[in-house]
């Protein structure tokens, strides 16, 4: 494969030395895209060799930083993942417990139909959030729907006696 070379005006700096672009390209081991004359100059010139050393150290440092950030993200992702599942399980448990009295009482069949529809809607949004548990939005949705589950379960519990009294 033919690799296109960096143009001369990019690889040469003032005083006939190699430019920062050329030095950082060499530091990254991309000598294939550098004109041969620049590489030969850097190898022969002590000023450029010294700068190349700095560029190489910087390149190494950046690579280390990127690796550290990636490692940090992985650690966060694995540490966070179990939590939403617990919240979902707790939320669903509370919601189901709240539905039990309605489902067992045949006189409030109409309201249990409404509750079942509500539960189905909540389950659907939880499932949608659970599909992307690693993304920040997915995490937010998961916590949000879990909180909504608990709140709606509490609302159902509070509304139940009133409905039975009025009917
Ligand atoms: Zn030089």
Q: Are residues 113 and 146 in the same domain?
A: yes
Q: Are residues 120 and 97 in the same domain?
A: yes
Residue 34 phi/psi, 5° resolution?
-100, 140
Between 133 and 44, name the one with better pLDDT.
44
Flag whether 19 is in a domain.
yes
Q: Are residues 57 and 90 in the same domain?
A: no
Between 6 and 4, name the one with better pLDDT.
6
Q: Are residues 150 and 107 in the same domain?
A: yes
Q: Are residues 34 and 103 in the same domain?
A: no
Q: Which residues surround ligand 1, an ion (CB under 5 A)?
A: 17, 45, 47-48
Q: Are residues 85 and 72 in the same domain?
A: no
Mapping DSSP to helix (H, G, I), strand (E, B) and coil, where does residue 12 land?
Answer: strand
Q: How far is the CA of 36 from the centre of ligand 1 (A)?
A: 14
Q: How far is the CA of 139 from the centre of ligand 1 (A)?
A: 53
CA 76 to chain centre: 10
pTM for this prediction: 0.41
Flag whether 2 is in a domain.
no
- Residue 111, pLDDT score: 63
Q: How far is the CA of 58 from the centre of ligand 1 (A)?
A: 19
Flag whether 50 is in a domain.
yes
Q: Which residue range(s) make up the domain with 123?
A: 81-166
| Residue at a domain's end among 76, 108, 136 | 76
Q: How far is the CA of 66 from the centre of ligand 1 (A)?
A: 30
Q: Is it the case that residue 10 has pLDDT exceeding 90?
A: yes
- Residue 139, pLDDT score: 67
pLDDT tens-digit readout, 12-35: 999 999 999 999 999 988 999 999
Using alpha carbons, list the distances in angstroms from residue 107 to 25, 113, 163.
78, 12, 11
Q: How far is the CA of 28 from the centre of ligand 1 (A)?
A: 18
| Residue at a domain's end among 49, 76, 103 | 76
- Residue 49, pLDDT score: 95
pLDDT tens-digit readout, 92-151: 888 778 777 666 665 655 665 676 677 777 777 766 666 655 566 666 767 777 788 888
- Phi-psi domain of 85 (left: phi exceeds 0; alpha: psi -120 through 50; beta: other): alpha
Q: Are residues 160 and 85 in the same domain?
A: yes
- Residue 106, pLDDT score: 59
Q: How far is the CA of 19 from the centre of ligand 1 (A)?
A: 9
Q: Are residues 64 and 97 in the same domain?
A: no
Q: In the chain, how many domains are there?
A: 2
Average pLDDT of the segment spanning 59-63: 85
């Amino acid at each position: 494969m033919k690799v296109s070379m960096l143009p001369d005006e990019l690889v040469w700096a003032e005083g006939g030395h190699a430019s920062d672009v050329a030095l950082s390209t060499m530091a990254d081991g991309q000598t294939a895209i550098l004109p041969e004359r620049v590489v030969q100059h850097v190898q022969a010139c002590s000023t450029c060799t010294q700068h190349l050393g700095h560029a190489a150290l910087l390149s190494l440092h950046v690579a280390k930083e990127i690796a550290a950030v990636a490692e940090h993200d992985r650690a966060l992702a694995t540490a966070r993942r179990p939590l939403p599942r617990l919240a979902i399980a707790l939320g669903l448990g509370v919601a189901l417990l709240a539905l039990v009295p309605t489902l067992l009482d045949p006189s409030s069949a109409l309201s249990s139909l409404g509750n079942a529809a509500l539960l189905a809607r909540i389950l659907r949004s939880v499932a949608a959030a659970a599909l992307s548990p690693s993304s920040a939005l997915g995490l937010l949705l998961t916590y949000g729907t879990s909180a909504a589950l608990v709140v709606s379960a509490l609302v159902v519990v509070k509304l139940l006696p009133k409905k039975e009294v009025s009917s």
